[in-house]
Amino acid sequence: MTLRLFDSLTRELRDFVPVVPGKAGIYICGLTTQAPPHIGHVRFAVAFDVLRRWLERGHGYDVTLIRNVTDIDDKILAKSAEAGEPWYALSYRNELETAGALEALGVLPPTYEPRATGHVPEMVELMETLVTRGHAYAPADDSGDVYFDVRSWPSYGELTHQSVDDMSDAEDADPRGKRDPRDFALWKGRKADEPESASWRTPFGTGRPGWHLECSAMARKYLGDTFDIHGGGVDLRFPHHENEVAQSRAAGLGFANYWLHNAWVTLGGEKMSKSLGNSLRVSAVVEEHRPLAVRYYLTAAHYRSTIEYHEGSIEEAGTAVERIERFLRSALPEVDTLVPDGSEDLPADFREAMDDDLGVSDALAVIHQSVRAGNTALDDGDADDAATIARSVVAMTDVLGVNPLDPAWSTGGSDADDTTTALDALVAGRVQARAAARSARDYEAADAIRDELTAAGIALEDTAAGARWSLARSKGD
């Protein structure tokens, strides 16, 4: 089957054909490290983690995924000045919290995670190429600024399908030296109130890179002049990605063959952002909710669909996760953790859903249908069929990063295993006592045992094959 992806540039579904057969190169714009991340920030990482997993596990591609860190920009300098700490200290602290948030949500680490400040030579080289080709200029005002000349590139606006004349002015730099107010900054000359540590010397003057230049240079360094997929949030389409396309292609690079954009997480119909004061920090959310439930919540909607956050939405995701996990624990009672080895056959309807522009909603429907079929097999006493179905469910959920048996979601080691063994023995004894009471028609005693287990956080489910038990997790587990 062929993987089809919606390309934002052509506005159509396109068959995925990689530049190099058997390989896939992906660049996604990481976070600017001015503050800790909220769940709206990290949706992009979850969405492209699913893409990466499907390319690897669904189609066998060798994937190189680059997720950059924008560790220098206007907001970082402003925040550090407000906090009275060095910009690099603030940036690094937020970078570490971001990395922790993505790990907590089961996002696989990128192949490389370059920082903007570590790639200034590559940026200067690209900027010099654009100046030589007549697509960029340094104003004759000794400011140190360098601008991209949007009028010099006839295709400017191709990603967002806009005419230059209809665009608003670029607000990323002082317009004093611009030929056109829509020209955007490749390089920003150092201002008197900015720290010397936040500037680098170039043939055009001392300063720091513009945001757009950073990503073009880093994508080229790690993926080559032409690569497969560039992704990010839909809010980055303009001006960031539009400017990346223009400067990269004006420099003679093929750049990205496919552009993918994920939609927002909204609250009350508005984009979740710090400026609106409605952010939900990941570190706080995963203290209140099970991280696997948060991951499921961010994964369950199609990546191009907006997620509207509301009270109870993560609890609903947690209920779905519990349903899957309860089946897996019952069907594979001897297995504590399980990660597919790649040899498992994925159901055809699951593959079809994922190949249709990563149709996770339909893919999850297949998973839940399988869980229902597996529970029916358990009720009928067909343990072998239930185990086969369970392994298929593990393989499917692993593609989406929501496999409850993945050790990444486990919180303990050997001590936890010992505790589980002891708990299983204790609960099994009470379950047997309840079964004996029911056989003797002492329903009062049987109900008392069930109430005792419920109070202890143990959920019982009566089936034709006997009672099954599972932990009734609290929402912070």
Find, among 241, 29, 257, the residue nearest to 156 by Cα. 241
The predicted model scores a pTM of 0.87
Paired strand residues for 428: none
Query: What three-state secondary structure class fits 355?
Result: helix
Q: What is the pLDDT of residue 326?
A: 96
Contact 90, 80 (CB under 8 A): yes
Residue 329 pLDDT greater than 70, yes or no = yes
Burial class (CB in 10 A: 0-12, 13-18, 19+), 423: middle
What's the length of the chain? 477
Residue 475 pLDDT greater than 60, yes or no = no
What CA–CA distance (Å, rounded) separates 238 from 263?
14
Structure confidence by residue, pLDDT tens digits, 331-353: 999 999 999 988 788 999 999 99
Structure confidence by residue, pLDDT tens digits, 173-193: 878 889 999 999 999 999 999
What's the mean per-residue pLDDT of the chain?
A: 91
Amino acid identity of 435?
A: A
Contact 215, 248 (CB under 8 A): no
264-285: average pLDDT: 79
Number of other residues whose CB lies within 10 A of the CB of residue 6:
19
Q: What is the pLDDT of residue 103?
A: 96
Residues with Cβ within 8 Å of 223's Cβ and at least 6 positions away in sequence, in order, are 25, 27, 64, 66
Q: 179 vs 273, which has greater pLDDT? A: 179
Measuring CA to CA, how many Å separate 225 from each of 30, 221, 248? 20, 8, 9
- Which pair of tokens denotes residue 162? 């806009």
Residue 233 pLDDT greater than 70, yes or no = yes
Distance of CA 180 to the CA centre of its chain: 37
